[in-house]
Amino acid sequence: MTLIHTGVETIDPGPGPGGREGGADPGTGTGTGLVVLDLGPADPYFASQYHLANGAGGQRDLNLFSGGASVWDDYTGAGVRVALIDDGVDYLHPDLFPNYDFSLEVAGVDGYHPDRDGAHGTAVAGIIAAQRNQTGAVGIAHEATLVSMPAIPASDLSGDGLAAGPTISLRDAFANFANYDVVNNSWGYVTPFYDSAFNARQAELHATLADVVAEGRDGLGGIIVKSAGNGRGSLDNTAGSWTTASWGTIAVAAVERDGRVSSYSTEGASVLVSAFGGPVPGDVVTTDRTGHLGYNRATVGDEVTSGFNGTSAAAPMVSGVAALMLEANPDLGYRDVQTILAATAVHTGADSFDGSGLTGAERYQWDWNGADGWNGGGFHFSEDYGFGLVDVLAAVRLAESWTGTGTWESRALVEGVAANEGSVAITDLATVTMTFDVAETIAVERVAIDLGLSHTWLSDLEIQLTSPDGTVSELMRDNFGSADATDYGARDLTLASNAFLGELSAGTWTLTITDDYLGDSGTASNAALSIVGHDATDDVYIYTEEYADFAGGPGRRALTDTDGGIDEINAAAVFSDSVISLVAGAIGRIDGVTFSLAADAAIENATSGDGDDLLTGNALGNRLSGGRGDDTLDGGAGTDTLIGGAGDDRYIVDQPGDRVIERADEGIDTIETALNITLPANVERVILRGAAWSVQGSSADNTMIGNAACNRITGRAGDDYLTSHDGDDTLDGGGGADTMIGGAGDDRYTVSNAGDVVRETVGEGFDTVRSYISFTLGDDVERLELLKSALNGSGNDLANSLVGNSFGNMLNGLGGQDHIRGEAGDDTISGGAGDDTMIGGTGDDTYIVGLRSDVVVEETGAGYDTVVSYAGTFRLDDNVERMELRSGAQVGYGNDLRNTMIGNGAGNALYGEGGGDRLFGEGGRDTLVGGAGDDTLNGGAGSDYYVLGEGADRVVIGAGDSGYGFSRRDMIRDFTSGEDVIDLSALDADAGVAGNQAFRFFGGTAAPGAGEVGAVVYGDALIVSVNLDDDAAIELQLQLNGVDHITASDFIL
């Protein structure tokens, strides 16, 4: 047995230089005919990597970029572990070192090239994960984690692959597969059937591989990618190797730039998909071993080769795609990855499906199988290409949306159904059949035939398997050259096929063996059929961008499903706008083509792709997922789960149990609903319809729009926009700087942030703001209530109602005829312009009045209260104790309490009314009228006029309060000797002696001496004169009208 690479070779029936199946010099140049594209990374050789982006007419690429979308916008393979079984990797290469993880190497095994001539593994590694670093080339999954298991020599390795190779044996390498997420195998066996199950030395590898798909990735299954081989020129078939026909491997064929199968690519029914291998000589640009040891030995410094090829190049492309898929959806099982790759692969090569248009190296026509779940019908399949050329963007989009878990444990299995014929003779130029009756119904994924075969010339044989649906799969066709089956040890074969994907297993399967060349014969015996699949009732109807190409096929525009189960229409791989309705009988549109749902169809779920899609549910419990784009999702009746994905999505929520799922930073999303609702996380907008009246926001910046009902709209932490229409609405912005618009009706707003804005329009009701912070009413809002610890509140030009709380509030009505209530606390209340009513409540309140028509209301025992008046005339309300005049010549009236009334610098008139009042005129020519009670009157500066009433009043004279002469002296009326007093104690009788000296009273003199007070009667008045210094001049006089005598006891000297 010889192990070989499957890349960088001249394809030839015989071995080439160095013992490979080829081995031609891969070239040292940078390639020819390369189209330079202005997109993607700045790595200098990216533009030459046509498999990533190819702008040349009539040529293909892997579709990483489409319609402005790039798979790299979202996924780069980060966190996915990719191992290579190869001849080693130059992990010091600047494109590979950043992604290489030495901790993942097998203990004691160096992943570097052990052989001086080896460079194959470095080229393979670069296709998968060359770092996007503005150096060299770039890999498909350029942030995936790499590790090398060097088990394949640079030159031929004779043996069985179990003994130690250059660094690690295949057996030990296989045993470590489970440590990785993806394992790339760009190698193969020279001898056909060498690794078949009958070879006892290979049984250990078989068992190990089974363990990998059963237990790898914590039971999800390792992704094993295998090059199909380069044996087309030798008439090889993937059936000749267990590693390309196993349930667990993804066999990859190679195509050239134009999408046609490469001349060397091994054919077979177990090929799953194709990728670029290039022609001979090669043209795939990738990393090369550094220095003079790689393929490109002539040019040191670039460290790339432009001549790599073979299925060795195609397989790592699929490994890179698998890494992107696993990053997009880490829960994918290994069977899921296989199905998704198959479902998104695109038709390539010959256009004809009847064999008439075969081109180039093609040997097989494209055909349709009997499934009904792909683009309205069956899958296309060819033994040259598998299901077609890999489409990276489509595969990743479908992987994102995939909800199944196709693991080893979850598989459905039809195992070992024996043929109805025990043994049949294969006579010369004859056709024989063997049939298998399958009772179980599962959805087919892979089919295998175990067959005992004896024939003296294998290439005489064509072996076909026909399904109950009539699909014919070519398991072998004149393959393996002029050899006896026993020459290869091909006694017990396992022939696998992917061609029946999506068909149903039940019915009669037919194995047809045709000897088509004269001269040899044999026998077939012990045939058994096995099928791996899944539950047939849970259907996924997949649509791709090929639907428009093939929608004209029979039945593809009508979808029927009546077998129960949980079913889905999945158009995640479609990038145009889709219309998908799950309502029975509805008409939809995918990829620009209409389709209909049968009248009796019952499908639960729908998924769309990157377009601006419309998804509508039915009466079942639906799961609608919009993917990217600005989608509209309407679950209809039933309890639905709605997932908009990236884009500005619109949800119609009409059932209480409906669930909306959005992730952060996926657009500005809107729910429209006739239900009371709490916005889920990451949904920004809601519009209430119908009978809905209540909505609560999320922590995002929400826009919440009410309806004509009496809405209750409540925000949370974000900067929200709340608006309603008719109805008496309640709007609470919550935290954040919110804008609230109630519309018509008597609306109530709750404010808690200094940035909150309340907007109302004229004539739209009597509206109330309840505020947790100091707040000023916006235009057209009538009422303000302060809550908890909010301190200050102001109105507007309307007739406002302002209500404080238990703290000391400052309330200002501004314009309008306001009604202001302070409640508890020491409040300051200003009515502003307008005829205002102010009620302080308990506490020592201060009122600021501007008009005599303002009303101040206090309750008995509700605190010591003050009116600060700017009105021309104002009278204290009952139970208000204090007044201050603040604006010019004003008049103030007290009440029956012990008032304190204070004037200003102008000529004020203060009337104490009842009670023992204290009146202070301050500056100006004031009139102070004590009224009833024992009052204290202090006119302050200026010539003041005092009117003493009932009770023992005291007139207080301070420095500068009164002057000399008629026009400057204070005048006192209704002074009663022996009851009222004049208080001069604030004046110092002798400034030359320390302290405040008392005056001496000398009645009957008009010229008192220093420190003396004299009094004389002039007409009907008594003039009191005071000498404040040691000269003869009189500094202060008082005139007491209607008084004819006074004594020292009438003074406080």
Q: Cβ-count burial of 744 within 10 angstroms (0-12 exposed, 13-18 middle, 19+ buried)?
A: middle
Helix (H, G, I), strand (E, B) or coil at 1049: helix
Look up the domain containing 1017 and give its range. Answer: 981-1052
Closest to 284 measured CA to CA, from 7, 91, 82, 17:
7
What CA–CA distance (Å, rounded) separates 489 from 923? Answer: 127
**Average pLDDT of the segment spanning 167-178:** 85
Structure tokens that stand for 314 in this block: 């195609």
Q: Which residues lie closer than 8 Å to 597 by C-beta, 6 or more apart?
A: 559, 581, 582, 583, 584, 585, 586, 587, 588, 603
Instruction: Give pLDDT tens digits for 524-538.
Output: 999 999 999 999 999
Q: Are residues 164 and 312 in the same domain?
A: yes
In the chain, the amino acid numbered 679 is L
Alpha helices in 130-202 (DSSP H): 170-175
Alpha helices in 306-449 (DSSP H): 311-328, 334-344, 392-401
Closest to 626 measured CA to CA, from 692, 571, 564:
571
What CA–CA distance (Å, rounded) separates 812 from 801? Answer: 10
What CA–CA distance (Å, rounded) separates 652 from 977? Answer: 92
Q: Are residues 325 and 416 in the same domain?
A: no
**Average pLDDT of the segment spanning 954-970:** 88
In the chain, the amino acid numbered 75 is Y
**Average pLDDT of the segment spanning 131-156:** 88
| Cα of 200 vs its chain's centroid, Å | 54
Where is average pLDDT lowest: 330-339, 347-356, 613-622? Answer: 347-356
Prediction pTM value: 0.82
Q: Are residues 445 and 317 in the same domain?
A: no
With respect to residue 28, please indicate whether it lies within any of the assigned structural domains.
yes
Helix (H, G, I), strand (E, B) or coil at 395: helix
Ramachandran area for residue 439 (φ above 0: left; ψ -120 to 50: alpha; else beta): alpha
Q: What is the CA radius of gyration of the chain?
A: 49
Cα four-point dihedral sign 222, 5, 91, 99: negative
Torsion of CA 494, 496, 500, 506, to 10 degrees: 20
* Residue 314 contacts residue 388 (beta carbons within 8 Å): no
Q: Which of 48, 312, 576, 608 is catalytic?
A: 312
Helix (H, G, I), strand (E, B) or coil at 901: strand
Higher pLDDT, 425 or 155: 425
In the chain, the amino acid numbered 142 is H
Instruction: Give pLDDT tens digits for 443-489.
Output: 999 999 999 998 888 889 999 999 999 999 999 999 987 666 566 55
Residue 836 annotated as catalytic: no
Residue 596 annotated as catalytic: no
What CA–CA distance (Å, rounded) separates 329 from 342? Answer: 17
**Average pLDDT of the segment spanning 862-880:** 93
Question: Quick check: 7 pLDDT over 70?
Answer: no
Helix (H, G, I), strand (E, B) or coil at 756: coil
How would DSSP label each residue in 492-552? EEEEEE-TTTT-B--EEEEEEEEE-STT--EEEEEEEEEEEEEETTS-EEEEETTHHHHTT
**Residues present in the chain in total:** 1053
Domains contained in the chain, number: 3
Q: Are residues 419 and 290 in the same domain?
A: no
With respect to residue 675, please indicate whether it lies within any of the assigned structural domains.
no
Question: What stretch of H or E contains 245?
Answer: helix 242-245
What CA–CA distance (Å, rounded) separates 238 from 266? Answer: 6
With respect to residue 35, please indicate whether it lies within any of the assigned structural domains.
yes
Q: State in Å, rounded, how far the first CA of the chain is from the last one.
A: 135
Question: Quick check: 198 pLDDT over 90?
Answer: no
Among 331, 346, 371, residue at a domain's last position: 331
Q: Are residues 429 and 326 in the same domain?
A: no
Residue 701 annotated as catalytic: no
**Average pLDDT of the segment spanning 606-617:** 97
Q: Are residues 20 and 131 in the same domain?
A: yes
Instruction: Give pLDDT tens digits for 210-249.
Output: 888 889 999 999 999 999 999 999 999 999 988 898 989 9
Instruction: Give pLDDT tens digits for 52-68.
Output: 998 788 899 999 998 77
How would DSSP label each residue in 398-424? HHHH------TTT-EEEEEEE-SSSEE
Q: Are residues 320 and 437 in the same domain?
A: no
User: What percentage of the chain carries pLDDT values higher than 90?
Assistant: 75
Q: Which of 43, 86, 634, 738 is catalytic?
A: 86
What CA–CA distance (Å, rounded) separates 351 from 328? Answer: 32
With respect to residue 526, please indicate whether it lies within any of the assigned structural domains.
yes
pLDDT bracket for residue 37 (50, 70, 90): very low
pLDDT at 209: 84
Q: To 5 degrees, how large is the angle CA 73–CA 75–CA 78?
A: 135
Give me the chain's average pLDDT, please: 90
Q: Are residues 40 and 170 in the same domain?
A: yes
With respect to residue 190, please indicate whether it lies within any of the assigned structural domains.
yes
Closest to 208 measured CA to CA, from 273, 151, 272:
151
Q: Which of 120, 142, 380, 455 is catalytic?
A: 120
With respect to residue 694, please indicate whether it lies within any of the assigned structural domains.
no
Higher pLDDT, 357 or 230: 230
Q: How far is CA 88 from CA 6, 305, 889, in A?
A: 15, 17, 103
Q: Are residues 304 and 417 in the same domain?
A: no
pLDDT at 993: 83
Where is average pLDDT lowest: 739-748, 977-986, 998-1007, 1014-1023? Answer: 998-1007
With respect to residue 397, please indicate whether it lies within any of the assigned structural domains.
no
Question: What stretch of H or E contains 243?
Answer: helix 242-245
Instruction: Give pLDDT tens digits for 752-761.
Output: 999 999 999 9
* Residue 621 contacts residue 602 (beta carbons within 8 Å): no
What CA–CA distance (Å, rounded) separates 477 from 483? Answer: 14
In the chain, the amino acid numbered 526 is N
Characterize the bridge pairing of strands 819-821 and 442-455.
Answer: unpaired
Q: Are residues 420 and 271 in the same domain?
A: no
Question: Quick check: 140 pLDDT over 50?
Answer: yes
pLDDT bracket for residue 1043 (50, 70, 90): very high
In the chain, the amino acid numbered 836 is D
With respect to residue 321, please indicate whether it lies within any of the assigned structural domains.
yes
Q: Report the CATH number at residue 289.
A: 3.40.50.200
Among 535, 558, 588, residue at a domain's last position: 535
Q: Are residues 124 and 272 in the same domain?
A: yes
What CA–CA distance (Å, rounded) separates 574 from 542? Answer: 10
Structure tokens that stand for 840 in this block: 């302080």
What CA–CA distance (Å, rounded) separates 268 from 951? Answer: 125
Closest to 347 measured CA to CA, from 319, 321, 393, 386:
386
What CA–CA distance (Å, rounded) separates 228 from 6? Answer: 8
Where is average pLDDT lowest: 173-177, 627-631, 641-645, 799-803? Answer: 173-177
Structure tokens that stand for 910 in this block: 């203060």
pLDDT at 1029: 84
Closest to 509 measured CA to CA, from 525, 524, 529:
529
**Average pLDDT of the segment spanning 782-790:** 92
* Helix (H), strand (E), coil (C) string for 28-87: CCCCCCCCCCCCCCCCCCHHHCCCCCCCCCCCCCCCCEECCEEHHHCCCCCCCEEEEEEC
Question: Quick check: 300 pLDDT over 80?
Answer: no
Higher pLDDT, 468 or 350: 468
Q: Which residue has the tokens 């930073």?
A: 665
Q: Are residues 327 and 425 in the same domain?
A: no
**Average pLDDT of the segment spanning 666-679:** 94
Among 509, 535, 561, residue at a domain's last position: 535
pLDDT bracket for residue 627 (50, 70, 90): very high
pLDDT at 293: 82
* Helix (H), strand (E), coil (C) string for 684-713: CEEEECCCCCEEECCCCCCEEECCCCCCEE
pLDDT bracket for residue 809 (50, 70, 90): very high
